[in-house]
């Protein structure tokens, strides 16, 4: 179907099934309360599209009734950006859009790599889509601009504001090819986001009381020149930053990046057995993981978090637990634990499908917290139990609060004194609360 040169386009995320149905990055991995939460209330994909193609409208995590109300405004195109575990909800939204007379449906995001998606929609976008969408309006986006994106970090229960986390996503793609990861199939073209627009965003974050920035790049620092300019900017605006990368890359730049504000490095440890690491083509040695822990432990006020997976094909319950214990003994501060999951268009998907069979067709289970394939030694129920046990053991309250956060607070207080008390304990929570109230009042 040919669109007009100025079509009405609405891009949505999947809908929220209930009011507080936001992905909480902390809640997935820490069971106890009180704790902090970090909720994905704004969608980076949608914010990037809107920033670069202002002609379209976006709708982030609406409740169902708000989505239907929006559909009634009449649209030429309704598009969706989503993950694998959100496909069922998105298909419901697609059917509703068609019922409202929408003629063209688009899909993008990692979820659009699933083979069922092209049958339900009219156009599938893979990877960064700012330029492809702009072309519908007769324009090109050759230099992607960065939008402002904020996620709240609150204390729960009670959703008491603690800070507003500034989000950056500065570089797309990754040159590695870990077999479980969709990034190599999804982001085939690697590029950096416009650095001047990043500076504008950082200036705004700093001006509005943001103290911490989470960089979502899959592999922070893979372009050394760009990372140098970016880390200088983060330092100029006196922001503490969180970033995910590989142990070897962090170690190469640790002194400089720590000086420039790196305080929360995240690495993909994935496994403590070299054969498991090799089986997913991680190209990482156990010695690097241990060395990374040692070197970062010598840096003041640093909190080290790791991604880790259980359920490799060679593991049974006992060897799985041995691996968890080996990880704990290394000494990191906090852990995101996942069950190894085959996702569409990854080498792991085809290997698992042909060797064992992928049993679970329930999309919600593709959240990396469920066993979705026929594991040779562990059942889904056992895996569920082992996952909960591993999370409780690795992220136990004493270690993450009494040991980890207490050390952090002590080191920050020693380094910054009353400035720390003013900025982190008084001003930031107060500003977050005020801005929350202002946003609710809009």
Question: Which residues sit at the interface with ligand SF4, rule CB under 6 A?
Answer: 174, 176-178, 181, 183-184, 218-219, 268
The nearer residue to ligand SF4, 202 or 269, going by C-beta atoms, is: 269
The nearer residue to ligand SF4, 138 or 175, going by C-beta atoms, is: 175
> Do 8 and 70 meet the contact criterion of CB atoms below 8 Å apart?
no
Nearest alpha-carbon partner for 56 in 112, 118, 108, 101: 108
DSSP assigned state of 115: T
* Max intra-chain CA distance, the chain: 64
> Do 381 and 352 meet the contact criterion of CB atoms below 8 Å apart?
no
Nearest distance in Å: CB 284, ligand SF4:
9
The nearer residue to ligand SF4, 219 or 269, going by C-beta atoms, is: 219
Neighbours of 395 (CB within 10 A): 23
Neighbours of 63 (CB within 10 A): 14
Rounded to an integer, what distance in angstroms lies between the CA atom of residue 255 and that of residue 49? 35
Nearest distance in Å: CB 85, ligand SF4:
18
Q: Residue 46 is inside which H or E element, if any?
A: helix 44-52
The nearer residue to ligand SF4, 177 or 229, going by C-beta atoms, is: 177
Nearest distance in Å: CB 346, ligand SF4:
9
The nearer residue to ligand SF4, 127 or 209, going by C-beta atoms, is: 127
Nearest alpha-carbon partner for 58 in 185, 135, 149: 149
Task: Give the strand order in the sheet containing 77-81.
Answer: 57-59, 9-12, 77-81, 104-108, 123-124
The nearer residue to ligand SF4, 183 or 432, going by C-beta atoms, is: 183
Nearest distance in Å: CB 431, ligand SF4:
34
Nearest distance in Å: CB 87, ligand SF4:
21
> Do 5 and 138 meet the contact criterion of CB atoms below 8 Å apart?
yes
Classify each residue of 157-166 as buried b or exposed e, where b means 16 or more C-beta atoms within 10 Å of its C-beta.
eeeebbbbbb
The nearer residue to ligand SF4, 186 or 241, going by C-beta atoms, is: 186
Nearest distance in Å: CB 304, ligand SF4:
17
Rounded to an integer, what distance in angstroms lies between the CA atom of residue 29 and that of residue 33? 12
Beta-carbon contacts of 332 under 8 Å, excluding residues fewer than 6 positions away, are 269, 293, 304, 305, 306
Nearest distance in Å: CB 283, ligand SF4:
8
The nearer residue to ligand SF4, 94 or 251, going by C-beta atoms, is: 251
What sign has the CA pseudo-torsion 212, 213, 218, 224? negative
Nearest distance in Å: CB 368, ligand SF4:
12
Rounded to an integer, what distance in angstroms lies between the CA atom of residue 121 and that of residue 168? 30
Strands 171-172 and 160-168, how do they pair? unpaired
Nearest distance in Å: CB 438, ligand SF4:
36
> Do 179 and 340 meet the contact criterion of CB atoms below 8 Å apart?
no
The nearer residue to ligand SF4, 341 or 428, going by C-beta atoms, is: 341
């Amino acid at each position: 179907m040919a669109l007009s040169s100025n079509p009405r386009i609405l891009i949505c995320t999947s809908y929220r099934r209930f009011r507080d149905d936001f992905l909480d990055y902390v809640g997935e991995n820490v069971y106890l309360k009180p704790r902090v939460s970090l909720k994905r209330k704004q969608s980076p994909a949608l914010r990037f599209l809107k920033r670069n193609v202002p002609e379209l409208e976006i709708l982030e995590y609406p409740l169902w009734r708000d989505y239907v109300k929006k559909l009634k405004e009449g649209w030429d195109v309704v598009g969706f950006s989503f993950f694998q575990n959100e496909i069922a909800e998105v298909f419901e939204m697609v059917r509703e859009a068609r019922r409202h007379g929408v003629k063209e449906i688009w899909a993008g995001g990692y979820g659009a790599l699933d083979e069922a998606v092209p049958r339900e929609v009219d156009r599938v976008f893979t990877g960064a889509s700012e330029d492809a969408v702009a072309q519908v309006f007769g324009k090109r986006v050759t230099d992607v601009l960065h939008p402002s994106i904020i996620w709240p970090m609150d204390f729960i229960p009670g959703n008491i504001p603690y800070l507003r986390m500034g989000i950056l996503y500065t570089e797309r793609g990754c040159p590695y090819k870990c077999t479980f990861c969709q990034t190599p199939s999804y982001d085939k073209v690697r590029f950096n986001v416009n650095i001047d627009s990043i500076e504008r965003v950082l200036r705004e974050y700093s001006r509005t009381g943001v103290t911490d920035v989470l960089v979502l790049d899959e592999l922070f620092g893979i372009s050394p020149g760009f990372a140098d300019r970016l880390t200088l900017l983060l330092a100029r605006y006196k922001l503490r930053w969180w970033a995910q990368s590989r142990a070897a890359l962090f170690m190469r730049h640790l002194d400089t990046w720590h000086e420039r504000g790196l305080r929360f490095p995240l690495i993909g440890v994935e496994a403590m057995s070299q054969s498991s690491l090799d089986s997913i083509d991680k190209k990482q040695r156990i010695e690097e993981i241990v060395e990374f822990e040692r070197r970062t432990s010598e840096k003041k006020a640093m909190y080290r978090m790791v991604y880790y997976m259980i359920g490799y094909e060679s593991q049974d319950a006992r060897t799985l637990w041995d691996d968890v214990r080996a990880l704990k003994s290394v000494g990191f501060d906090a852990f995101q634990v996942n069950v190894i999951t085959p996702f569409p268009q990854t080498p792991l998907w085809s290997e698992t499908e042909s060797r064992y069979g992928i049993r679970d067709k329930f999309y919600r289970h593709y959240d990396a917290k469920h066993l979705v394939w026929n594991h040779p030694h562990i059942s889904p129920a056992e895996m569920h139990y082992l996952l909960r046990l591993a999370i409780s053991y690795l992220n136990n309250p004493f270690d993450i609060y009494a040991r980890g956060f207490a050390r952090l607070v002590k080191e920050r207080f020693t380094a910054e004194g009353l400035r720390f008390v003013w900025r982190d304990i008084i001003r930031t929570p107060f500003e977050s609360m005020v801005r929350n109230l202002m946003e609710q009042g809009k």
